[in-house]
Structure 1
Amino acid sequence: MPDEEPQHRHILTFNFRQGRNKPRHDEAFARLWPRYGLEWSPGEGRLDFARLFGRTAPVVLEIGSGNGEAAAAMGDADRDRDLLAVEVYPQGIADLMDRAEERGLDNLRIYQGDALPLLWEGLEAGSLDEIRVYFPDPWPKKRHHKRRIIQAEHVKTMAALLRPGGILHCATDIADYAEQMLDVLTAEPAMENTADGFAPRPDRRPVTKFERRGVAAGRDIFDLEFRRR
C-alpha cells in the first residue's frame, strides 16, 4: 500500500493587506504575466521545471519576493540558474515583472499565492538548488509566532526539497525572529550551518531599499545560511 501524503496544518504565514493597483501595475500584469506568470493550483501535481523554464538548469526558489528588487538583481547576476519567485501581492509582482523585462530576464517565473501548498504539493523532493526567505513577515506578537514561516515543520519540508548540498538562505532585521530562525534551523538534522551562528551577508544578496530602511531605524540585519546534508 503506497505511503499516504503527510497531513499539514495550514496556517497563513503572511498578513494579506490588499492594496490598490496603480495603472502601471495593471498594465504590467496584462502585458507581462503571460511571459513570467506560473498558473498552478493545489491538486495539479508537481511542476516540471524543464517545461516551465524551457531548459534544464538548477532552480532557486524565493519565498516572498516583495517588490522584486533583490530577485531581479540576483536573477540577472546568476543567469545559469532559474528563479521561481513566490509572492502574494500583485503590486510587488508587477514591479518584479517590470524589473525583469528591463533586465531582459528569461530565467524567472512567478507564482502568485501562498507558498506552503506549493512546497507541499508542487515541487519534487531534491529539485531545488537553493531556497531564499528574505525578510519574511515577522508576526511580532508572541501569540502569532506560530504563523512565522521559519518553524520546524516548514523547515523540514524545505530541507526535503533541496538537493544534497543545496542552501537555505534566510535574512531578517527582527532580532528575536533571527534567534528563533537559528534555533529552528540548527535543530533540523537534515541541515548544517555554513557559519558559526549567523552568517555574514553574502555579496550576491543585494542591499535593498527595504533593508536600508531597517538599518536607518537602528535594526541589525541577520543572515543565516544552512546547507542540506
Structure 2
Amino acid sequence: MAEGAPRLRGWSLPWIYPTGLFIRDYLLKHKTAYPQEIWKALKAARKSVSEELGESTSRYENFWRNYIYVLKKLGLIEPVRRVANPKQPMWFPRTYYRIVPGRENDPRWVHPQIALDPRRGKSEYRRRYAKAKKVKIPLPPPLTPEEIDRIWAAAEAFLRERRYILTREQFEAVKPEWPSEAGLYPTFEERVGYVIRYASAIYYVSRMARRLISVEEAPEPIASEALRLGKTLEREWLRRR
C-alpha cells in the first residue's frame, strides 16, 4: 500500500463482491464443497488485493462462524455428506454443503449477518458499537511470575480433580499468550477460571484429534462443544469460590 494512503476497510476495500455471494457462486459452480475448501478459494481470489493493501482475509474460524454457520441458520445451505480426509483419515471428516434448492437467488446472500440479526444493519446500532469501541479501558499491570504460577497451580488442581490432564508446557505451547490475557481479569478467581476454560477446551479437542491442537484448529461442531465444556467448568469453579 502506498505510503500515506488512507487505510481502507470493510466495504471500502476493492473486493466489494460480498463474501456471501462468493460462497453462493462457488457452490453453484462446484455443486458441493466443504467450508475450508471455500475459504481457501476465497483467500486465493483476494490474494492480490490483500497483498497490495496489507489486509488479509479473515481466519478460517471467523469465516465459519460469520458465514457457514449463518448461512446454515438462514436455511440457504445444508450439509449433504461427510467424507473422511484422505490426508488425515484419523482426523474429523469433512462436511460438504450445497445450496438449499430454490434458494439460489435469495436476497439474503448479500448480507447474511444482517438477515439473521437485523439490528446489525441499523445506523443507530452501528454508531453505538463504534462508540463503545472507542472507550479506552486502562490495562492492569502485567502478572508477576509468582502470580502466574499461583494461577496455574489452582487451575491445574481443579482440572485434575475432573481428570483433565494437561501440563503447563502443553497449554503454553498452544496458548503462549495466556498470562497477558488472564491478567485482564480483575480477580484471582476469574483469572483461574479463564485458564480452566481454555485448558479444558484444548484438552477436549486434542483428545479428539489424538494430538495437541488449539481450539481454533478443530472443526465445528467440535470447537463449539469444547468451548461450551470450558465455560461450564469455569462457572463451576467460580461457584465454588
Q: TM-score range by the shorter chain?
A: under 0.3
Between 1 and 2, higher relative CO (CA 8 Å, sep ≥ 6) is seen in 1
- Report which of the two has the higher share of helix: 2
Q: Which has the larger radius of gyration?
A: 2
- Report which of the two has the higher share of strand: 1
